[in-house]
Amino acid sequence: MTSRLEIPDGSDFPIQNLPYGVAEHHGRTGVVVAIGNHVVDLSVLAAAGTFPEVPPGTFDRDSLDRFMALGRPVWKAVRSRLTDLLAGGDEPHRRNAVEAALVPMTDVTMRLPIRIGDYVDFYSSIHHATNVGRLFRPGSEPLLPNWRHLPVGYHGRSGTVVVDGTPIRRPSGQRLDPATGEPTYGPTRALDFELEIGFITGSGNVLGEPIQVDDAHRHIFGLVLVNDWSARDLQAWEYQPLGPFLGKSFATTISPWIVPLDALAPFRVPAPPQDPEPLPYLRPRRRLAFDIRLEVEIVPAGSSTGTVVTRTGFADMYWTMDQQLAHATSNGATTRPGDLFASGTVSGPTPDSLGCLLELTEAGRRPLRLADGTERRYLRDGDTVIMRGWCGHGSARIGFGSCRGTVESASTRP
């Protein structure tokens, strides 16, 4: 399929993608989709009568939550009509409406696309979980007994989820002084990134009614890139016995574009086998993953030259999104439009496919050398981390845009 617009070769946003976001332009904020180097203002198309199944005012908002609450049949209808319009071959008055709705991407400022009610972070890569277990619990079995039986996760802090480009303030907290064996308070000395994929829920479930694993995809609106920033020294001191807290809750960055599941459907692949077989409520009829390629670049402070420090893939995650959502609601808990569920760090089996500095540097023991000649055990003030993800290649590349953040120095307040 081709678009009436000229799409640059290798663009993340061909007509097969059409990801959703929220943009500010010309003094107003509303829901848009990306195509090539433009965004389409959906409120302009809605005012022209393009989406009769969408209630008035749905796209004149600073979040996608109301649209996501309408459910999969409406999502599919809107996507189908957008595709037809942008492919051409329609009536002149509708073609004029599309042209009126187009805004150059350089003229907009992207905002956080959702109002996140709840945020859950999972721990779903067997490679990452095994590596971290060896680093944090040397001499013990790296995977705890429950890990292969359920998608391990924790509730994060939704109020500190920010959009691509937001500066990240270095957090302070308690960390253990190895020389004295006593805790001290101060800025983290082990600031890390975590490469993740997140899914956003749309229409939710009724309190007390779990989402079945084979119905989970009907509740998932789309996917985003996630950087779940981590302060490893704070985390190591506080995480036992209840798990992550201040070492994670200070910031989480997501990409501004939510790529719909329908755009990613051609890139579904069989998920890796599970051993032992999970309990019946976590056994889908078809266990599928997404073949998403991922990379992380670090641009060091004071430099214009970045270094790609990892390249990995999402397809071999041990627990799938359907299993994660089924498990998260298996006790009757609810989801709402705009809830964010992150995968946990995406790591592969090879040394160059690890999704965080904790693994890449073996907890700081083996520093990385960057292109400018400097080394990194963990992130320094002024460093910029850029995450990218995509499926396919060439004119059919389905991309997520970028997920970036630059580290700022810690607050001077005690």
Dihedrals phi, psi of 22, to nearest 5 degrees: -125, 125
Contact 256, 113 (CB under 8 A): yes
Tell me the C-alpha to C-alpha distance, in Å, between residue 276 and each of 129, 318, 322, 404: 17, 12, 18, 38
3-state secondary structure string across 283-351: CCCCCEEECCEEEEEEECCCCCCCEEEEEEECCCCCCCHHHHHHHHCCCCCCCCCCCEEECCCCCCCCH
Give the dihedral sign, CA 309/314/316/317: positive
Q: β-strand 102-104 against 168-169: which pairing, if any?
A: unpaired
∠ CA 108-114-119, nearest 5°, is 140
Contact 20, 257 (CB under 8 A): yes
Spatial distance between the Cα atoms of 408 and 110, rounded to a whole number of angstroms:
21
Angle subtended by helix axes 92-101 and 72-87, to nearest 10: 100
Q: β-strand 398-408 against 168-169: which pairing, if any?
A: parallel
Determine which one of 128, 217, 327, 393 is catalytic: 128
DSSP string computed for 333-398: ----TT-EEE------SSGGG-SSHHHHTTTTTSPEEPTTS-EESSPPTT-EEEEEEEES-GGG-E
Spatial distance between the Cα atoms of 10 and 243, rounded to a whole number of angstroms:
41
Residue 155 annotated among the catalytic residues of the structure: no
Spatial distance between the Cα atoms of 224 and 263, rounded to a whole number of angstroms:
13
Spatial distance between the Cα atoms of 197 and 307, rounded to a whole number of angstroms:
21
Dihedrals phi, psi of 95, to nearest 5 degrees: -60, -40
Spatial distance between the Cα atoms of 208 and 193, rounded to a whole number of angstroms:
36
Q: Among all residues, which ones are annotated catalytic?
A: 128
